[in-house]
Amino acid sequence: MDVKTFGVIGSGQMGNGIAQVAATSGLNVIMSDISLDFAKKGLANIEKILSKNVEKGKISAEDKDAILGRITITEDLKDMAKADFVVEAATEREDLKFKIFRDLDEICGPDAILSTNTSSIPIGRIAAQTKRPEKVIGMHFMNPVPVMKLVEVIRGIATSDETFKLTWDLSEKFGKTPAEAADYPGFIANRILLPMINEAVYCLYHGVGTREDIDTVMKLGMNHPMGPLALADLIGLDTCLAIMETLYEGFKDSKYRPCPLLRKYVEAGWLGRKTKKGFYDY
């Protein structure tokens, strides 16, 4: 199948980043959200990033206008009927994703591929919400999408070889490097990353070190570009908690138990950068 129109569900940090790389690759993009105001905010973020790229000489003003001209925003999920390939990038909530996939299954054409940017929820579980499980796949981008090169490609138990190859090729078309992960909770990236972040939160919780010292140790001792607590703030503490809960529920192993301090921050509404307060103030 030749993908010409690419749908993105969600216009937040991940969604607008995915929309940007898809439009940059030459595809027509439909980006939807639950309100047009949210979608407009996502489009404005894309415009801001592209403008910076023009200033740095990475792209021309004409390129910027062409990319933006390929993006259409909407608040009506039914507009996804025009898409050949859809990526869902909504909040990391199983009930929400299930509903979106049930709706997409009814809205999209029978040949359309339905993919999810889920950070941790098993693909087979999402695919079971549709009548086309062979056309459902995981396409997990990294944050920030325009910069990070990796895309985890995860097939569910019913995902066809054709769907997998198309998704792999599309990742490369976007200028990304795909890596295949098996359909286990957290896949590869977050099965490794989130327990590390969770352990850093435990270190803070137990008074092993201050937030600055914990992050400094990982940056200078392990050569990480960002400390785990600052990274958690960037990801969103609610997302970190949701992923840890998925790992804990999926494996029934105490090593994945979310730190009580992480849960306390989320319950207080301290979600990181997006609320201007998390482990650090912004």
In the residue annotation, 94 being an active-site residue is answered as no
Query: Could you tell me if 16 and 42 are in contact, meaning their C-beta atoms sit under 8 angstroms apart?
Result: yes
In the residue annotation, 152 being an active-site residue is answered as yes
Would you say 12 is a known binding-site residue? yes
DSSP string, the chain: ----EEEEE--SHHHHHHHHHHHHTT-EEEEE-SSHHHHHHHHHHHHHHHHHHHHTTSS-HHHHHHHHHTEEEES-GGGGGG-SEEEE---S-HHHHHHHHHHHHHHS-TT-EEEE--SSS-HHHHHTTSS-GGGEEEEEEPSSTTT--EEEEEE-TT--HHHHHHHHHHHHHTT-EEEEE-SSTTTTHHHHHHHHHHHHHHHHHTTSS-HHHHHHIIIIIS--SS-HHHHHHHH-HHHHHHHHHHHHHHH--GGGPPPHHHHHHHHTT--BGGGTBSSSB-
Would you say 69 is a known binding-site residue? no
Catalytic residue among 28, 45, 119, 120: 119
Catalytic residue among 152, 171, 198, 245: 152
In the residue annotation, 254 being an active-site residue is answered as no
In the residue annotation, 119 being an active-site residue is answered as yes
Would you say 92 is a known binding-site residue? yes
Query: Which position has the token pair 């997302």?
Result: 239
Catalytic residue among 32, 190, 198, 245: 190
Would you say 236 is a known binding-site residue? no
Would you say 176 is a known binding-site residue? no
Would you say 165 is a known binding-site residue? no
Would you say 33 is a known binding-site residue? yes
Would you say 223 is a known binding-site residue? no
Catalytic residue among 25, 32, 45, 140: 140
Would you say 60 is a known binding-site residue? no
Would you say 143 is a known binding-site residue? yes
List of residues 6+ apart from 16 with CB closer than 8 A: 8, 31, 42, 43, 45, 46
Binding-site residue ranges for NAD(+): 10-15, 33, 92, 97, 119, 143, 274
Which positions make up the binding site?
10-15, 33, 92, 97, 119, 143, 274
Residues identified as active-site: 119, 140, 152, 190
